[in-house]
Structure 1
């Protein structure tokens, strides 16, 4: 994985597995981690982050359930092809996604204006 490092804030109210899941999901869905790119093993990422392997394993399981990654014996864990959207996201889906983003940004100490600017910047990419 040649992508930006995953960071876990142990003081955050967001559980570590969710922080890992959310960061990897964002890297995958934005294309910063490309299809078939290999991810670190559960043990390696856990060691890198100073966490229990079960924490990383849970994040990986949830990413597999969401069809964002796939694990195969001998081939490791790799980014799965992104599914083609079958429909336009609903307002409720976007609201839930926005709420998760705001909660994560606030757990990092971002204020309202900083969060809003980050969204504006992302929309202009």
Structure 2
């Protein structure tokens, strides 16, 4: 599992957020299919060389977003992406998802909140003129 996840401790983006973004991307491009069991918090933390609380926070936020579920005997499993209007069947290229993740990470690293990031996207897409 850690082959798809790396943490850059020099980044302005907190490690838990890096993990959250990377797991979200892996789920979005269907590299992590629904039902896939993730490593335990302690196992992933040890593999990445970070504190278990950091991984636990990422998992908790992914659970709150409806992407993961933690069950005592089954561990943490992938639920998949909610139906958010994205094309089915993995039609969104992985490099595009990665670019969006970089945009989010850079914006948060610059201290921008989600509303500001969405506002920038709306302006760039021309949606602000349409009142959307």
Same fold (TM > 0.5)? yes
Aligned pairs for 1:24-35 within 5 A: 24-35=23-34
Aligned length: 96
Alignment match, 2:84: 85
Alignment match, 1:49: 48
Gaps of 5+ in 2: 87-98, 108-132
Gaps of 5+ in 1: 88-97, 107-125
Aligned pairs for 1:1-125 within 5 A: 1=1, 4-85=3-84, 100-102=101-103, 104=105
User: How far apart, CA to CA, are the structure 1 residues paired with 2:104 and 2:82?
Assistant: 26
User: How far apart, CA to CA, are the structure 2 residues paired with 1:86 and 1:7?
Assistant: 29
**Residues 104 and 86 of structure 1: CA distance in aligned 2, closer, same or farther (over 3 Å):** closer
Compute the RMSD of aligned alpha carbons.
Answer: 2.5
SS in 2 for 1:78: strand
**Residues 34 and 101 of structure 1: CA distance in aligned 2, closer, same or farther (over 3 Å):** same
Deviations 1:53-79 (A, max 9, x none): 000000000000010010000001000
SS in 1 for 2:4: coil
**Residues 32 and 105 of structure 1: CA distance in aligned 2, closer, same or farther (over 3 Å):** farther
TM-score by length of 1: 0.67
SS in 1 for 2:69: strand
